[in-house]
Chains A and B, each alone.
Chain A
Amino acid sequence: VLKCWMNGSQVKVFGKAVQTVARVSEALWLDPSEKGLALRSVNSCHSTYGYVLFSPVFFQHYQWSASATVTDNDIPLNLNCKLAIKSILPIFRCLTSLERNVEKCRIFTRSDKCKVVFQFFCRHGLKRTHNVSFEESQPLKTLLEKNMCTNLLMINPRLLTEAIVLLTSNQEDVTFAVTPGNFCLKNSSEESLDLTSSVYSEMFFGPEEFDFFQVGFDTEITFCFKELKGILTFSEAIHAPISIYFDLPGKPVILSIDDMLLEANFILATLSDYPSKASSPQSLCLSQARRSDWTLSSAKASKSRNSQAPESISRTAAKRLFPKDPSKSSSTVETKRASVNGDDISEVPETVVSDTEAGPGSSHPTKFSCFGAFYSEQQEHVSHPLDSLAIASDSEEDASGR
């Protein structure tokens, strides 16, 4: 059971977070816990993961009590609240007017009716109530550790926003190139330019422009432009610097905002360096058509797979431990992998993700490598030896599968 209250200016920040996380996909998870209230979303091709956690001190009042425990271990059952974006986004559309008019906002859950209630107590005695239905569903979480990344930059988001505006680009991707001496923001390089190509632009920043500049080795990462813009806007709105954690191309980049009151992490897939695999799309942001090809091929691939030990083990383990509820699982193809929708929970180590992509007939490029390592919380409840096996395979050295 969740109960929390906010004032007008807190609603504005909360609403901004909702808007930013809402850009990721069609659904958003509301995940309250004793740590605070988290918003999570992941897109269907698993190239973008958004997470914002509001700590209890952010709210005027925050109360979370777990409902009855289910397992023998007395571990509380989390509220797994999946909301449709089109239900929640309209509530937080006009943030400036919300900030002006709302005196208090109450959010509470009614698990008996599977609803989250947003109540706005506005000026002039007006009270607005929104009852939003949710679907019980396990959110995906990520195992990635920021501290495992070699490169870390922290900067005032305003500077990056200005830079991005100047990149005269209608391209979909942006590239960060770092050396120990400088940082370069540029369009992703195209091998062959012709008269119809767009302009190739570069902008250099010196280390002194950053609040923190740590570069382990020279590297270049390329990822989706649009996603970066959304996150920078959020960072500017809450007046906090943005931290950028990254590593080799192909490994995801983590854009992080760490404030006393909230913590936000956006994990974006980056273009991998491996030219051998498949056709190379110019952009990471796959079109809908490509996405469906990919999920189909991954289904085929997974069926034929016997050799990839970790994957098959974890999957069978999952099946044994958590019987699938057929009524809940939607897209059957997707549930074979790290499931977003259904109750089919499987731990998907990083290697699995890339191996899936290399499956037969797969036209999906490995370049689109994700930050596999998704798991669902219920795994924690059962310490199965196979779990650790799956986790162990998610190591940085294990890039051989690609």
Chain B
Amino acid sequence: MKFRAKIVDAACLNHFTRVSNMIAKLAKTCSLRISPDKLNFILSDKLASGGVSMWCELEQENFFSEFQMEGVSAENNEIYLELTSENLSRALKTAQNARALKIKLTNKHFPCLTVSVELFSSSSSSRIVTHDIPIKVISNSVSIYLPALKTMKSVVEKMKNISNHLVIEANLNGELNLKIETELVCVTTHFKDLGNPPSCNTSQDRRPEDMAEVHVDIKKLLQFLAGQQVTPTRALCNIVSNRIVHFDLLHEDVSLQYFIPALS
């Protein structure tokens, strides 16, 4: 996994810093998803039902003069990290009057996001400040095609009467389960032979039958499903264990992405 990016424009730097400050104010830890054309900040604070969730997307070419990344595998070209939001915003504060800012993924004693700032200094040489922000690389993520949304919706609607939260789990064998569990009863609906998109993580050291699971608020899931009037051209979901579920729908030329963070 590799990532290096550089910002040289002062306005872009300020903008990026402001985004980071905003995220630091909203959540203690956040997930950062790096893909070839964008950065997503996803609040991964475990939220009780009724809380606010957020995700933030930046087109990388609006900020970075240089941007190179290499994901886990050629098919699954993304990097998923977790970090303490305040660490990033404090490191960026250094860069207020910087000549250039470089961010890269490093692994010194521990995986880090290294922010390297080149400052103007009084003498001819510039001063370099580096900050190593410890991160956690998130794995255990499964992508799977969704069953018919109408079916999912009717199942979840019935489940809503029994429990407030539900577990969505899926594996690389094309199996997806929706489970609810209360003191009195457990109900699971199994969907099979759904198929996994080719961008799935094949290089990881995991068996295809291993499930990635996430607990979500049933109302949020239902809200998403109820909103789908038309069958999409393509519908898939990406589950990052215990972090977030990401629904990716394509209707003709309209793309809809819906993120539901995991419950605490």
Contact = CB atoms under 8 A, between A and B. Distances in A.
Interface string A194-215: 1111111111111011000000
A168 B131 contact: yes
Contact of B131 (A196, A200, A204): A200
Given A200-B131, A200-B132, A193 B112 contact: yes
B83 interface: yes
A198 B128 contact: no
A194 B135 CA distance: 7
A166 interface: yes
B129 interface: yes
Contacts of A200: 112, 131-132
Interface in A200-250: 200-206, 208-209
A106 to B, nearest CB: 42
A193 B134 contact: yes
B166 interface: no
B128 A204 contact: yes
B87 A166 contact: no
B93 interface: yes
A201 B128 CA distance: 11
Contact of B123 (A166, A199, A209): A209
Interface of B: 29, 82-84, 87, 90-91, 93-94, 109-110, 112, 121-125, 127-136
Contacts of B129: 163, 166, 201-204
A159, A191, A197, A199: residue with the most chain B Cβ atoms closer than 10 Å: A199
A400 interface: no
Contacts, number: 67
Contacts of B123: 206, 208-209
A205 B87 contact: no
B94 A199 contact: no
B131 A201 contact: yes
10 contacts: A163-B129, A166-B129, A193-B109, A199-B87, A199-B132, A201-B91, A203-B127, A206-B123, A206-B125, A208-B125
Contacts of A204: 127-129
A199 B109 contact: no
Nearest to B88: A199
A276 interface: no
B84 A196 contact: yes
Contacts of B135: 195
A192 interface: yes
Nearest to B96: A166
Contacts of A197: 110, 134
Contacts of A163: 129
Contact of B134 (A195, A203, A206, A209): A195
Interface residues of A, number: 22
B112, B127, B128: residue with the most chain A Cβ atoms closer than 10 Å: B127
A194 B125 contact: no
Contacts of A159: 122
Nearest to A210: B123
A191 B110 CA distance: 9
A201 B109 CA distance: 14
Contacts of B125: 206, 208-209
B110 A199 contact: no
A359 to B, nearest CB: 34
Contacts of A203: 127-130
A155 B112 CA distance: 32
A166 B94 contact: yes
A175 B130 CA distance: 14
A192 B110 contact: yes
B108 to A, nearest CB: 8
Interface string A174-199: 00000000000000000111111111
Nearest to A209: B123
A203 B122 CA distance: 15
Contacts of A208: 123-125
A186 B161 CA distance: 57
Contacts of A209: 121-123, 125, 127
Contacts of B82: 195
Nearest to A197: B134
Contacts of B83: 195
Nearest to B83: A195
Contacts of A194: 110, 134
B102 to A, nearest CB: 14
Nearest to B89: A168
B136 A195 contact: yes
Nearest to B134: A193
